[in-house]
Amino acid sequence: MKKYVLKRVLTSIGTLLAIVLVLFILMHLMPGSPFNDEKLTDVQREVIYAKYGLDDPIVVQFGRYVVNMCKGDFGVSYKISKNTPISQLIETRLPISIGIGFYAVARGAVIGLILGLLAALKRDTIIDTVCTIVSVIGVSVPSYVFALGLSYTLGFKWKIFPMLYDSADALGSSVMPSIALSMFTMASIARFTRTEMIEVLGSEYMLLAESKGLSGTKLIFTHALRNALIPIITVLAPLVVDLMTGSLVVEKIFAIPGVGSLLVNAIQSNDYNVVIALSFIYSAMYIVIMLVVDILYGIIDPRIRLGKEGD
Amino acid sequence: MNEKMILDIHDLDISFKTTAGNVHAIRGINIDLEKGETVAIVGESGSGKSVTMKAAMGILAKNATVNSGKIEFKYSNEQGEQVVDILQKDKRWIRKHINGKRIAMVFQDPMTSLDPTMTIGKQLMEGLLWHFDISKEEAKNRSISLLKEVGINDAEKRMKQYPHQLSGGMRQRVVIAIALSCNPDLLICDEPTTALDVTIQAKIIELIKKVQEERGISVIYITHDLGVVAKVADYVNVMYAGKIVEKGTINEIFYDPRHPYTWGLLSAMPDLSTDDPRLYTIPGSPPNLLNEKPGDAFAPRNKFALEIDDKLEPPMFKVTDTHYAATWLLDERAPKVEMPKELRERLDRMKKEAAEYGSEL
């Protein structure tokens, strides 16, 4: 198991480096630069380039960037908020996006799991039908529609939660956006859980466990759930990242100062450092979550943990 | 129910609700079993063998309906001997008093019948801890001795392993150990060797035979392998389309079969001592029980079928006290029909060989 984790961590670091390289090259291949202002003369532009080291060969720039990055320095913004260090720019925004995403995932996963479980256990009954309808709606209706609906009812009509993000009431402000965002996760998890559970419940090892005389709850919690969870975790991982990185539209509706809007601004204005830094953080999150999922697999499924050494 | 009887299935009738309609899977079955006896239920896939036994375990699928019948089971507890009709009891009661504890089951495919995410030890101890009020330590010790009983070496080490670390034969031994863990009175083996390597099959059968003798339990074999039947059974029930078409002692079924379907099954056994390179098969396939037709269900595949076979289902005709067959050929008005010549010769040869080697079969 230790060897397995170590191997996975090393590959993850390699992957991250490769991602930075690709991002760096792509950004420099893009036409234009952060300093596209027509009022600048060529001389002025050269001075600015020299100041930020943009006149060096790309290899040198890349080396410098990676070295600085390892020290936790992502450079400064060239355009959006001139000369502000990126870390400072992200510092306040990232926790908000991650926080809302986390609530959304937690809520979606738990409710989805319960709905899916109920649907599978009460298969072909009215409960199953209701769960199916809920999950079809959740998958097919976009999150901003839920956001608008929530905003109108809970926010405007009944005034339970603030309609716009209020940093003084961060928890209350994140309720509505996280519900809106969690609908898709919940629906996908519910559908997936139902399918997996039905398959597991029909398996022969469940029949054997049943023939031992165990009670229904014991059957489900000690045998069925664990086996059904293995594939569910696979779909949960990418959903988690999607949510953590926030949804731009939902952020706009609730005026949340998250990273989504920052990224769009940065791309539009060719603000290299901001784009690379944010893309890097997204990738890092994705890779870390994949790593966590792989390790979770090992914990849940002995066939992966023990691999060939068990033979 | 007589003195020695342990299980008495009487007129069992089960149907399944499916999207295509009602499937009448079990159409009036009678099986009885005495203590220490071995009964085999033989038939093609889909003839209802497994369903009958699942009914006895109370683990029928949700869409099954029991239309009529009784499954009486005798066991003893602190209050003495009890006879219950399993079909009248609710699931909770069956789980607590019957499943695993008094009737246990060995499933067909050991590759899929063990939980892949749980250690062998845990799966063994689970039933023990559930049914008996014993400590974990005690359950562990009992499990280890069970593993040894079913012929697994270094049992302590195996307890900590997962199913995927064991071979197929080994897993089936574990499944048998699980079945034996709570000291059942009746062991139901649902095609216990079908999914195994031929070299392992004989060993597993020997193992089941051994534990049966040692523990004095009754065993029901569900199988379509007549070779297995010959090795283990005292009585044989031949099933076709949800009915028992012939029943008798092992010698009666093998040396004096009366039903054309049994003839077919016996002819279909591979035989090395014949010059004929062809392998006999029963023509056609089992009927779809979705649309029941009047008459004998086997008639369309039966070259000896009489006219009445298409109109009226044959009753059980008595051949001897232990031998019955449901075919109109046994009616006194029926024409005299003998089993196919090749089969007769083959059975005679088998009988002679058996006599030479000094065994019954």
pLDDT tens string B216-233: 999 999 988 888 888 889
**Test the A interface: residue of B108, B112, B113, B222 with most A CBs within 10 Å:** B113
B94 vs A contacts (CB less than 8 Å): 213
Residues A231, A275 share a domain? no
Report the side by side order of strands in the sheet with B64-77.
B21-34, B5-18, B64-77, B80-85
Residue-level pLDDT at B129? 93
Out of A47-56, B154-163, B174-183, pick the least confident. Answer: A47-56
Q: What is the pLDDT of residues A148-167, one digit of tens each?
A: 999 898 888 888 888 888 87
Q: What is the pLDDT of residues B70-91, one digit of tens each?
A: 999 999 888 888 899 999 998 8
Which CATH number belongs to the domain containing residue A173 in this structure?
A: 1.10.3720.10
* Residue A264 is assigned to a structural domain of this protein: no
CB contact under 8 A, B162 and A310: yes
Residues A250, A103 share a domain? yes
**A124 vs B155: which has the higher pLDDT:** B155
| Mean pLDDT (whole number) for A43-56 | 80
Q: Are B267 and B340 in contact (CB under 8 A)?
A: yes
* Residue A85 is assigned to a structural domain of this protein: no
What is the pTM assigned to this prediction? Answer: 0.82
Q: Are B17 and B4 in contact (CB under 8 A)?
A: no
Average pLDDT of chain A is 84
CB contact under 8 A, A211 and B99: yes
Residues A4, A56 share a domain? yes
Q: Which ipTM score applies to this complex?
A: 0.83
Residues A202, A120 share a domain? yes
CA within 13 Å, CB half, A236: 27
Residue-level pLDDT at B41? 94
How many domains does one find in chain A? Answer: 2
| Mean pLDDT (whole number) for B159-181 | 93
**Test the A interface: residue of B86, B115, B160 with most A CBs within 10 Å:** B115
For residue A49, the enclosing domain spans: 1-75+270-306
A267's CB contacts (< 8 A; 6+ apart) are: A275
Looking up tokens 């342990």, which residue turns up? B6
| Closest by Cα among B127, B154, B156, B157 to B139 | B127
SS3 sequence of chain B: CCCCEEEEEEEEEEEEEECCEEEEEEEEEEEEEECCCEEEEECCCCCCHHHHHHHHHCCCCCCEEEEEEEEEEEEEECCEEEEEEHHHCCHHHHHHHCECCCEEEECCCCCCCCCCCCCHHHHHHHHHHHHCCCCHHHHHHHHHHHHHHCCCCCHHHHHCCCHHHCCHHHHHHHHHHHHHCCCCCEEEEECCCCCCCHHHHHHHHHHHHHHHHHHCCEEEEEECCHHHHHHHCCEEEEEECCEEEEEEEHHHHHHCCCCHHHHHHHHCCCCCCCCCCCCCCCCCCCCCCCCCCCCCCCHHHCCCCCHHHHCCCCCCEECCCCCEECCHHHCCCCCCCCCCHHHHHHHHHHHHHHHHCCCCC
CB contact under 8 A, A214 and B178: no
**Test the A interface: residue of B95, B97, B111, B129 with most A CBs within 10 Å:** B95
Which residue ranges form the domains of chain B, and what is each CATH number? 242-356 (3.40.50.300)
* Residue A201 is assigned to a structural domain of this protein: yes
* Residue A65 is assigned to a structural domain of this protein: yes
Residues A60, A154 share a domain? no
B107 vs A contacts (CB less than 8 Å): 204, 207-208
Residue-level pLDDT at A311? 39
Residue-level pLDDT at B359? 56
pLDDT above 70 as % of chain B = 99
* Residue A130 is assigned to a structural domain of this protein: yes
* Residue A37 is assigned to a structural domain of this protein: yes
The CA distance from A229 to the nearest CA of chain B, in Å, is 11
Is B319 in the A-facing interface, judged by CB distances under 8 Å? no
Q: Are A49 and A55 in contact (CB under 8 A)?
A: yes
* Residue A287 is assigned to a structural domain of this protein: yes
Residues A105, A247 share a domain? yes
Q: What is the pLDDT of residues A212-247, one digit of tens each?
A: 988 888 899 989 998 998 888 888 877 877 776 657
Is B117 in the A-facing interface, judged by CB distances under 8 Å? yes
Report the phi/psi class of residue B183: left, alpha or beta, with left for phi > 0 and alpha for psi in -120 to 50: left
Residues A208, A283 share a domain? no
Is A218 in the B-facing interface, judged by CB distances under 8 Å? yes
Average pLDDT of chain B is 89
Residues A112, A37 share a domain? no
Residues A149, A67 share a domain? no
Is B4 in the A-facing interface, judged by CB distances under 8 Å? no
| Mean pLDDT (whole number) for B261-273 | 86
Residues A240, A287 share a domain? no
Residue-level pLDDT at A310? 42
Residues A225, A143 share a domain? yes
* Residue A87 is assigned to a structural domain of this protein: no
Residues A150, A102 share a domain? yes
